[in-house]
Amino acid sequence: MSMARALVKITQDGRKLEVNGLAVTLDGKLEAVDLMEVTIHPNRSAIIAVMPEATHMAGRVALTREEAQIVLDTFKETEAEILANPVAIQERFRIAATHRARTEGIE
């Protein structure tokens, strides 16, 4: 099963910010698994001072509304692919059950 992929942007220092499945990667390394709106970010003042057009953060990387939409659309596409694949659904349930068992101290 191939997950959705998308190039979000090239950073000022030349690194690629990409979405690979349900992960945002920077230069091939995991940067984030979700986005945070700048309006609720603890460092929003500093972010806006550096990049006034920023609306979201993907880990340490500020995104414009258009860039954030690329991430969200790719996440949505990946989730649709997962939901259409019974093996992927089963794996997500297995991971969730394992996580729950660990948090309850069973495993």
* pLDDT score for 75: 93
* pLDDT score for 44: 96
DSSP 41-106: -TTHHHHHHH-TT--EEETTEEE-HHHHHHHHHHHHHHHHHHHT-HHHHHHHHHHHHHHHHHHTT-
Name the residue with higher pLDDT: 99 or 78: 78
* pLDDT score for 18: 97
pLDDT in tens, 8-53: 999 999 999 999 988 999 999 999 999 999 999 999 999 999 999 9
